Structure 1
Amino acid sequence: MTALRQRLAELRGPAVPAKALDARALAALAANPGCRRRALLDGAGVDKSALAQALGSPSGFGQSQFAFVRGNAFEAKVKADGGAELLRLVHAHLGGGPEPTTGAPDGDPAAVRTPDLAAAGPEGRAARTALALREASGTRAWTLLDHPMLALDVAGSPAFLEPDAVVVHPDGHWTVVEIKSFPMIDGAADAAKVGSAARQAAVYALALQQVAGHLDPAPPVHHRVLLVCPKDFSNQPTAAVMDVRKQLSVTKRQLGRLTRIEDIADALPEGTTFDVERPAAELTEAVESVPAAYAPECLAACELAFHCRERARGDGEVTALGRSVRGELGALTAVEDVLAAARGTAGDPDDPAVAALRRAAGLRAEALAAAGGDTAC
């Protein structure tokens, strides 16, 4: 592990600190497990925004400063007074014991504990969180862990994750809490934003399951996650339960498919580095030495998407048209091959994809001929 960390430090630059791999990035990585480029850059802690800037393909991907400030202010409101409002929402939607009461004496199941999770470095904080969870499981009282640190093994490299909160119920269940600043209007929020929150929460739940697996007996981790948002157009918190069993299963399966980061790193040419202080031409060569799996969905999830899109289009890759199109075309991976198959100058006519393309080209030619248009592909 020490050798791998040294190798990853060399890749991002010896004087460059590692960028933490958060749940948002892990969820995006799980959605595209075939992208070795993202797996390696995220595993090495490379700042992809800075790298994209150095490559001349800056991306606007990321959260605005206004949204960041608004989110922090709303989270502080939710967690005020020892998390009284947050725990009220947890109890109202998920139960798990008597109604929590801040200030209740120790030994009372309604009492609320808020352990100090401070420690040196992410490894120290993860160890302190694991200890706090172990202690909370034996108290049979409410425990609120504010910004705990969880460790998750990703392709042989540890990722440290920081959920908004984890609640331990008196009945022993562990619950992930996601706090978002987008509104919940009439009890419903934007479906795309809720889906993104569910995928992030599934990553936290998976990491929490790993911690629980080291205890005997293993405490149950809720597959029902509490999503806390502003109510309607106010700043008052409300909540809804998200069942993340599907996202949890997909995330677990997709992360398991990732090639080990050390295997990707070992395949690189000697001296490869992603240090943004290096010349653009050298950086481009380094980035292109790692295979990517671009799809239009990357534009909403990866800082290098503009660079990868330009390369995919320049190389005529059908992946630039979308994963669904790529899946329909089978062995045809280049746009030129697709056009040749449609014209009948290449491709196996018994291939269903080739046959469908030729049939589509024929229908197009008929339609254009009837309209007096150009029939060329």
Structure 2
Amino acid sequence: MRGPDVPAKSLDARALAALAANPGCARRAVLDGAGVDKARLASALGAPSGFGQSQFALTRGNAFEARVKADGGAELLRLAHTRLDPGAEPPAGAAVPDLTAHGPEGRTARTALALREATRAGGWTLLDHPMLALDVAGSLAFLEPDAVVVHPDGSWSVVEIKSFPMLDGSADPAKVGAAARQAAVYVLALEAVAGRLGADPAEVPQKRSAPDSAPVPRVHHRVLLVCPKDFSNLPAGCAVDVRKQRAVTARQLARLTRIEEITEGLPEGMCFAPDRSAEELTAAVQAVPAAYAPECLSVCELAFHCRERSREAGAVTRLGRPLRAELGGLTTVEDVLATARGERGDPDDPAVAALRRAAALRAEALTDAAHREAAPCP
């Protein structure tokens, strides 16, 4: 579907978090499942998006991450000890295993082996850019967190390194929320690894019953967020509880329809290759239903295209999901206005009654305003 010579664009945690936030969008599910580069597709459709980080931000973020992980991750492990596990022994001489392997499948297997070995060995271990796999609607997504820390008791923690500043001990709530949703995807993937190792990721780690036995792996729901301190390049860390984001993401990912079920009703030979004409691409994209909402503008490369089509159709979803939920079966702006004017709709429907009441109040307010303007000055 992406074209015979077009390489697949792999899913990352940010894309999965966005997909989970809008599970009803079949268009995004198909495009992400097929590995389509949505940024190139949006440009080919004539609706390019400014979505994503600038090259300057990427360079700054990479430089900060390298500083945090310098000297075998000594500063990162110190922050993990201070913020996540202060009762454990200090992280002196922590292990940093080599995770290189061929292909994502090989790196995933190497990461699972390193986690098993670190859990059995005890002590602090830092996994730099491990590879995790997560099943999403029948497709396997390979995810690469910034780091995973194995604690001396055998439990595991996700580390997110971001380049936005932490001022006076706190950061921008919107950016922290986005980082938490991304980290929640990594937590789910780590729990899947723990499950494959034969452990329940929700259990509390048990003490060793024998010298050769390993503690039960447990994935912490508090992740370590590392950001620059104030206006410097010095790292600062804080613990972020992602239990809510993890629960929401798990529920939404479980609701996603399998890609095979969505594609069964699509035209034969549909292709999203960027070298196709704009007319062909538009027809292909429109054949897959979308669920546009204003929130898509900050998380999806096709948001501008979908917004324009939503405006043309007069869909109420472009006004926001909360309003759409309040309007019940009214799906277009034309239907809403006709209902408010009393031209259609069941008067016993709560949404219809509320619209007509609002229209009456608006008309009354406009009449009063007109009378005040027409009245002579005293």
TM-score with structure 1 setting the length: 0.93
* 1:179 alignment counterpart: 161
- Per the TM alignment, residue 372 of structure 1 is displaced from its structure 2 partner at its CA by 2.3
- Determine helix, strand or coil for the equivalent of 1:291: coil
- Per the TM alignment, residue 123 of structure 1 is displaced from its structure 2 partner at its CA by 1.2
Check if 1:199 corresponds to 2:190: no
- Distance in 2 between the 1:135 and 1:101 partners? 18
- Per the TM alignment, residue 232 of structure 1 is displaced from its structure 2 partner at its CA by 0.9
Q: Per-residue displacement from partner, 1:69-111 (whole Å, max 9, x unpaired)?
A: 0000000000000000000110111126310113xxxxxxxxx
* 1:318 alignment counterpart: 316
- Per the TM alignment, residue 301 of structure 1 is displaced from its structure 2 partner at its CA by 0.5
* 1:133 alignment counterpart: 115
- Distance in 1 between the 2:27 and 2:237 partners? 37
* 2:230 alignment counterpart: 232
- Distance in 1 between the 2:18 and 2:198 partners? 32
- Distance in 1 between the 2:252 and 2:350 partners? 28
Choose from 218, 221, 244 the match for 1:220: 218
* 2:245 alignment counterpart: 247
- Per the TM alignment, residue 266 of structure 1 is displaced from its structure 2 partner at its CA by 1.9
- Distance in 2 between the 1:183 and 1:41 partners? 33
- Per the TM alignment, residue 124 of structure 1 is displaced from its structure 2 partner at its CA by 1.2
- Per the TM alignment, residue 217 of structure 1 is displaced from its structure 2 partner at its CA by 3.6
- Per the TM alignment, residue 122 of structure 1 is displaced from its structure 2 partner at its CA by 1.0
* 1:116 alignment counterpart: 98
Q: Per-residue displacement from partner, 1:309-347 (whole Å, max 9, x unpaired)?
A: 000010010001110110110110011110010000001
Q: Counterparts in 2 of 1:1-377, with a 5 A limit?
A: 11-95=1-85, 97-102=88-93, 112-218=94-200, 219-372=217-370
- Distance in 2 between the 1:347 and 1:58 partners? 39
Paired amino acid for 1:99: P
Structure 1: which 4+ aligned runs deviate by more than 3 Å?
Answer: none
- Distance in 2 between the 1:326 and 1:42 partners? 25
- Distance in 1 between the 2:186 and 2:292 partners? 26
Paired amino acid for 2:123: A
Paired amino acid for 1:314: E
Unaligned stretches of 5+ residues in structure 1: 1-10, 103-111
Q: Per-residue displacement from partner, 1:179-223 (whole Å, max 9, x unpaired)?
A: 001111111000000000000000000000000001234410000
- Distance in 2 between the 1:121 and 1:168 partners? 24
- Distance in 1 between the 2:81 and 2:142 partners? 28
- Distance in 1 between the 2:275 and 2:103 partners? 26
- Determine helix, strand or coil for the equivalent of 1:126: helix
Paired amino acid for 1:286: A
Change (3 A) 1:317 1:217: closer
Q: Per-residue displacement from partner, 1:117-144 (whole Å, max 9, x unpaired)?
A: 1111111111111111111110012111
- Distance in 1 between the 2:315 and 2:327 partners? 12
- Distance in 2 between the 1:148 and 1:158 partners? 16
- Distance in 1 between the 2:48 and 2:59 partners? 23
Paired amino acid for 1:173: S
- Distance in 2 between the 1:166 and 1:266 partners? 39
- Per the TM alignment, residue 18 of structure 1 is displaced from its structure 2 partner at its CA by 0.5
TM-score with structure 2 setting the length: 0.92
CA RMSD of aligned residues (A): 1.0
- Distance in 2 between the 1:283 and 1:274 partners? 6
- Distance in 2 between the 1:366 and 1:38 partners? 44
- Per the TM alignment, residue 370 of structure 1 is displaced from its structure 2 partner at its CA by 1.8
- Determine helix, strand or coil for the equivalent of 1:229: strand
- Distance in 1 between the 2:4 and 2:199 partners? 43
